[in-house]
Amino acid sequence: MNSINYQGQTIQPSKLVCIGRNYVAHIEELNNSIPSQPVIFMKPNSAISDEISFDSKDEVHYEGEICLLIKHQRISAVGFGLDLTKRNVQAKLKQKGLPWERAKAFDGSAQFSEFIPFNDNLESLRLELSINGELKQQGGYDLMLFKPDVILNDVKGNFTLEDGDIIMTGTPSGVGAVNAGDEFVGKVFSGDNLLVEHVWVVK
């Protein structure tokens, strides 16, 4: 089983519950419609990796996301995550109304920073993703269609959350292609206070 880091402990999430279409500007950039309830999909434990490898045959996009680590059915920690997506594959699946796993749940499609304990105000959470020194994505609680507490209740109403499971809260606008050699720097803030930062260099 793959693991993530939480205060020096390794934790093995049984599943990653992901929210799609949670930021209006991102919905618009992909020409999707605004959902009336959270759009949910999942990634398995096998999707977790800490290395991004360039994929020359598919158009892999980055999606920077605020991620919530669950313990005792509650949000216990936050981290920065990348929901890597084969955008060309997803576009075909969407057209046919088929499930997204081929585009979203492949090995290496979930990348995480360390997770930091968090029991502060969720409203202060925001993220930034820079690539090669250029700010590409920013957003957070204010811009989310469905806020973390609403997402958590909705998810819990449908799926049992085990300790160590992760909710990925969706991506703001500014998604784009992953290229070999790119340096990704993902950050999560509480207001102006940097909570966690992680650097990836694409192989």
Residues that bind Zn ion (CB under 5 A): 63, 83, 171
Residue closer to Zn ion (CB basis): 113 or 171: 171
> Cβ neighbours of residue 60 under 8 Å, at least 6 residues apart?
54, 84, 85, 86, 87, 177, 178
CB of 182 to Zn ion, least distance (A): 18
Inter-residue contact 167 to 17 (CB < 8 Å): yes
The token pair that represents 117 in the structure block:
């304990």
Which of helix, strand or coil describes residue 3? coil
Which residue number has the CB closest to Zn ion?
Answer: 83
Neighbour-count burial for 180-193, b at 16+ CB within 10 Å, e otherwise:
eebebbbbbbbeee
Residue closer to Zn ion (CB basis): 10 or 177: 177
Residue closer to Zn ion (CB basis): 121 or 150: 150
CB of 9 to Zn ion, least distance (A): 26
How many residues are there in the chain?
Answer: 203
CB of 18 to Zn ion, least distance (A): 6
CB of 104 to Zn ion, least distance (A): 8
Residue closer to Zn ion (CB basis): 141 or 163: 141
